[in-house]
Amino acid sequence: MRRAITVFTYAGMMVVSVFFTNGCKKDLRTDQAQQPIVDDPSEAMVAHILEFRDRMAYYRENPNLKTGGQLYTAPEAVLELESLLNFNFCYTDIQCNQKKFVTSEVIMPLDELEKINDPKLMEVYYDRTIDTIQRKWDA
């Protein structure tokens, strides 16, 4: 009888240890936060720029969407716009002997919290920034 109790005790301890070992692993990823994990910082930067470019294209294709998206402070918005401009228009594989630096000033419509959302930033990018650069380049 005593041996049966000992066997059941050991079996119970084994079941409990297996439960704690395998049952306590949590998957912290949710469906909402499933984004590709990128280990290389340069790949992560490119992925971020491409995501921003896709958001700008989405809001351009859907002009009736005036609210929503991410909110950016003015410095964050400038960084996003500069990154996208450099990604789209800087070609490092072309050799040339002429360099032309273009400086532009763009006014952004910030809200009362001094932030700008994706639809407004899309307007700044396509309607003001690209047009301003094109006019200066053609001049």
- Residue 5 covered by a domain: no
pLDDT band at 22 (very low <50, low <70, confident <90, very high): very low
- Residue 92 covered by a domain: yes
- Residue 110 covered by a domain: yes
**Model pLDDT, residue 7:** 43
- Residue 99 covered by a domain: yes
**Model pLDDT, residue 91:** 67
Q: Of 73 and 88, which is predicted with more confidence?
A: 73
- Residue 53 covered by a domain: yes
| 41-86 pLDDT, tens digit each | 788 889 999 999 999 999 989 888 888 789 999 999 999 998 998 8
Q: CA–CA separation, 128 vs 132, rounded Å?
A: 6
- Residue 9 covered by a domain: no
Give every CB contact of residue 77 below 8 A, 6+ residues apart in sequence: 108, 116, 121, 124
Contact 119, 69 (CB under 8 A): yes
Give the range of the structural domain holding residue 92, as residue numbers without chain letter. Answer: 36-134
- Residue 25 covered by a domain: no
pTM tops 0.75: no
Res 89 pLDDT > 80: no
- Residue 24 covered by a domain: no
Res 30 pLDDT > 50: no
Domain count, the chain: 1
**Model pLDDT, residue 27:** 42
Two structure tokens written together for 72: 């950016």
